[in-house]
Amino acid sequence: MTVEGLWIKYGTEAPWYVTYCVYSYLALLSATFVANLPFLIIEVFFKNHPYIVSRQINPKKSMPTEKYWKIFKGFMRGLLTHSVGSSVFAGLLFRWRGCSIGPLPSILEVVVSIFCFMLIEDTLFYWIHRLLHWSEFLYKHVHIHHHEELQNTVSVGHQYFHAIELSLGAGLPFIAGPLLLKSHMVTFFIWTFVMMIESSIAHCGYDFPFLNFIQDARVHAYHHSHYMDNYGSYFNLWDKLLGTNKNFKQYEQRRLAKQK
């Protein structure tokens, strides 16, 4: 049976709640594990390997093992509880918007759609993220949950949020693009993998040059260690336009000058 035939049988012809809700959660679950497994293996088995140590962004602030597992437990708890409800709710929104579950989209449609998703996500994430820092109330009661444990970033920290921020600060920018464009559900499932991979790399705490084409981990690591600048995600478009990356740029210039 072809890929198209498998999708028609198990996607188009499946009960709507399976295709929209159950598959959304399974995509999130599998994408999260795929994105984080390499970094989990590094943290457990290779953390002290000379090459890994040399790629640490903040070697003087290396996270203690006990703290890492605390964050990992919070990450798993959110993934197995809150994310279930969020996926069901997102699935209901996709069905309400009429997101397609028909014949598979073309590769070009998937690529163009995901690029649009990135632009939409980057914009919404930037402004919500800035609000969480600008508002003393929101920072103290919501966003601090993400920051207080992650002065030094680790990949599993990318889903270590207060429930409100997980829904609105991370979840809303994530599903906004597919909802606005009424995208095919398979495109959304692929987008889920793209999103989880980008987010885990941004929080991984290691500067692996071969991953910089996806995301430069130094950008978000600076935000966590200095509590300022770099509020965006994929392109940091708004940071560049509004100058909310100037301190980071100066910091990087000083760092690179010391290496010469």
Give yes or no for residue 78 having a pLDDT over 90.
no
Place 112 in a pLDDT band, splitting at 50, 70 and 90: very high
Q: Is residue 86 within 8 Å of residue 21, measured between CB atoms? A: no
Mean pLDDT, residues 113-137:
95
Give yes or no for residue 77 having a pLDDT over 80.
yes
pTM beyond 0.75: yes
Residue-wise pLDDT for 208-244, tens only, equals 988 887 778 889 988 988 888 999 988 888 999 999 9
Q: What angle do CA 168, 232, 204 make, to 5 degrees?
A: 90
Residue 40 neighbours by CB distance under 10 Å: 16
Domain ranges of the chain: 3-259
